[in-house]
Amino acid sequence: MSKLSHFDASGSPRMVDVSGKQATKRTARAHAFVALHPDVLAQLPANPKGNPLEIARIAGIMAAKKTSELIPLCHPLALSHANVEAMLEPNGVRIVATAATTAETGVEMEALTAVSVAALTIYDMCKAVDKTMVIDGVRLVNKIKK
Protein backbone atom coordinates (compact mmCIF):
# COMPACT_ATOMS: atom_id res chain seq x y z
CA MET A 1 0.00 0.00 0.00
CA SER A 2 1.31 3.47 -0.89
CA LYS A 3 1.70 6.00 1.88
CA LEU A 4 -0.61 8.99 2.13
CA SER A 5 0.91 11.94 0.29
CA HIS A 6 -0.60 14.70 2.44
CA PHE A 7 1.37 13.80 5.58
CA ASP A 8 5.04 14.42 6.32
CA ALA A 9 7.39 11.95 8.03
CA SER A 10 6.15 13.00 11.48
CA GLY A 11 2.51 12.55 10.50
CA SER A 12 1.66 16.24 10.22
CA PRO A 13 -0.57 17.33 7.34
CA ARG A 14 1.13 19.10 4.43
CA MET A 15 0.45 20.35 0.96
CA VAL A 16 2.21 18.11 -1.55
CA ASP A 17 5.14 19.80 -3.32
CA VAL A 18 4.44 19.54 -7.05
CA SER A 19 7.10 22.05 -8.12
CA GLY A 20 9.27 19.31 -9.63
CA LYS A 21 6.49 17.99 -11.86
CA GLN A 22 5.99 18.91 -15.50
CA ALA A 23 2.81 20.87 -16.31
CA THR A 24 0.57 18.69 -18.47
CA LYS A 25 -3.00 18.89 -19.74
CA ARG A 26 -5.26 17.18 -17.25
CA THR A 27 -8.98 16.50 -17.28
CA ALA A 28 -11.29 14.78 -14.84
CA ARG A 29 -14.94 13.80 -14.85
CA ALA A 30 -17.10 13.10 -11.80
CA HIS A 31 -20.66 11.92 -11.20
CA ALA A 32 -23.42 12.30 -8.62
CA PHE A 33 -27.10 11.40 -8.47
CA VAL A 34 -29.91 13.04 -6.52
CA ALA A 35 -32.83 10.65 -6.03
CA LEU A 36 -36.11 12.57 -5.99
CA HIS A 37 -39.75 11.59 -5.64
CA PRO A 38 -41.43 11.46 -9.09
CA ASP A 39 -43.94 14.18 -8.09
CA VAL A 40 -41.07 16.53 -7.28
CA LEU A 41 -39.36 15.76 -10.59
CA ALA A 42 -42.55 16.79 -12.40
CA GLN A 43 -42.58 20.10 -10.48
CA LEU A 44 -38.95 21.07 -11.18
CA PRO A 45 -39.66 23.35 -14.15
CA ALA A 46 -42.16 25.34 -12.06
CA ASN A 47 -39.96 25.73 -8.98
CA PRO A 48 -40.62 29.26 -7.59
CA LYS A 49 -36.93 29.62 -6.66
CA GLY A 50 -35.90 29.17 -10.31
CA ASN A 51 -34.85 26.23 -12.48
CA PRO A 52 -32.94 23.97 -10.05
CA LEU A 53 -31.01 22.26 -12.86
CA GLU A 54 -29.59 25.50 -14.25
CA ILE A 55 -28.86 26.93 -10.82
CA ALA A 56 -27.13 23.67 -9.81
CA ARG A 57 -25.08 23.78 -13.02
CA ILE A 58 -23.82 27.29 -12.28
CA ALA A 59 -23.22 26.46 -8.60
CA GLY A 60 -21.12 23.44 -9.60
CA ILE A 61 -18.99 25.48 -12.00
CA MET A 62 -18.46 28.16 -9.35
CA ALA A 63 -17.53 25.50 -6.80
CA ALA A 64 -14.96 23.93 -9.13
CA LYS A 65 -13.23 27.32 -9.33
CA LYS A 66 -13.17 27.60 -5.51
CA THR A 67 -12.02 24.06 -4.68
CA SER A 68 -8.72 25.08 -3.07
CA GLU A 69 -10.64 27.41 -0.75
CA LEU A 70 -12.85 24.53 0.40
CA ILE A 71 -10.39 21.62 0.60
CA PRO A 72 -7.49 22.74 2.80
CA LEU A 73 -4.56 20.98 1.11
CA CYS A 74 -5.67 21.31 -2.54
CA HIS A 75 -3.51 23.35 -4.86
CA PRO A 76 -5.17 26.41 -6.38
CA LEU A 77 -5.56 25.70 -10.10
CA ALA A 78 -6.32 27.92 -13.04
CA LEU A 79 -9.06 25.94 -14.74
CA SER A 80 -9.15 26.08 -18.51
CA HIS A 81 -12.57 24.42 -18.53
CA ALA A 82 -15.35 23.53 -16.11
CA ASN A 83 -18.73 22.17 -17.08
CA VAL A 84 -21.64 20.63 -15.20
CA GLU A 85 -24.55 18.79 -16.77
CA ALA A 86 -27.70 18.11 -14.77
CA MET A 87 -30.07 15.70 -16.49
CA LEU A 88 -33.54 14.60 -15.46
CA GLU A 89 -34.05 10.86 -15.19
CA PRO A 90 -37.12 8.90 -14.06
CA ASN A 91 -35.88 8.65 -10.44
CA GLY A 92 -33.92 11.85 -10.04
CA VAL A 93 -31.20 14.09 -11.42
CA ARG A 94 -27.91 12.78 -12.80
CA ILE A 95 -25.04 15.24 -12.50
CA VAL A 96 -21.78 14.98 -14.47
CA ALA A 97 -18.96 17.49 -14.11
CA THR A 98 -15.81 17.93 -16.16
CA ALA A 99 -12.80 20.04 -15.23
CA ALA A 100 -9.60 20.68 -17.17
CA THR A 101 -6.32 22.52 -16.71
CA THR A 102 -2.69 22.46 -17.70
CA ALA A 103 -0.80 22.11 -14.44
CA GLU A 104 1.53 20.02 -12.30
CA THR A 105 -1.36 18.34 -10.49
CA GLY A 106 -4.74 16.89 -11.39
CA VAL A 107 -8.24 18.32 -11.40
CA GLU A 108 -10.17 15.42 -9.89
CA MET A 109 -10.94 17.38 -6.71
CA GLU A 110 -12.41 20.19 -8.83
CA ALA A 111 -14.68 17.77 -10.71
CA LEU A 112 -15.75 16.07 -7.46
CA THR A 113 -16.40 19.42 -5.78
CA ALA A 114 -18.48 20.53 -8.75
CA VAL A 115 -20.81 17.51 -8.66
CA SER A 116 -21.07 17.65 -4.87
CA VAL A 117 -22.09 21.30 -4.78
CA ALA A 118 -24.44 20.87 -7.74
CA ALA A 119 -26.13 17.97 -5.91
CA LEU A 120 -26.35 20.02 -2.70
CA THR A 121 -27.92 22.86 -4.69
CA ILE A 122 -30.62 20.53 -6.05
CA TYR A 123 -31.18 19.32 -2.49
CA ASP A 124 -31.46 22.86 -1.14
CA MET A 125 -33.92 23.93 -3.80
CA CYS A 126 -36.15 20.88 -3.38
CA LYS A 127 -35.96 20.19 0.37
CA ALA A 128 -39.24 21.98 1.10
CA VAL A 129 -41.20 19.51 -1.05
CA ASP A 130 -39.18 16.27 -0.79
CA LYS A 131 -38.01 15.04 2.60
CA THR A 132 -36.89 11.70 1.11
CA MET A 133 -34.15 12.97 -1.23
CA VAL A 134 -30.88 11.07 -1.31
CA ILE A 135 -27.56 12.21 -2.76
CA ASP A 136 -25.75 9.14 -3.99
CA GLY A 137 -23.00 7.90 -6.27
CA VAL A 138 -20.55 10.76 -5.86
CA ARG A 139 -17.47 9.39 -7.56
CA LEU A 140 -14.62 10.10 -9.92
CA VAL A 141 -15.47 8.65 -13.34
CA ASN A 142 -12.07 9.21 -14.94
CA LYS A 143 -9.00 11.37 -15.06
CA ILE A 144 -6.75 11.86 -18.04
CA LYS A 145 -3.20 13.21 -18.15
CA LYS A 146 -1.69 14.02 -21.56
Which amino acids are annotated catalytic?
A: 124
- Whether the CB-CB separation of 108 and 141 falls below 8 Å is answered with no
Q: What SS3 state is found at 95?
A: strand
Number of C-alpha atoms within 13 angstroms, CB side, residue 118? 35
**Cα–Cα distances in Å, from 21 out to 11, 68, 69?**
23, 19, 22
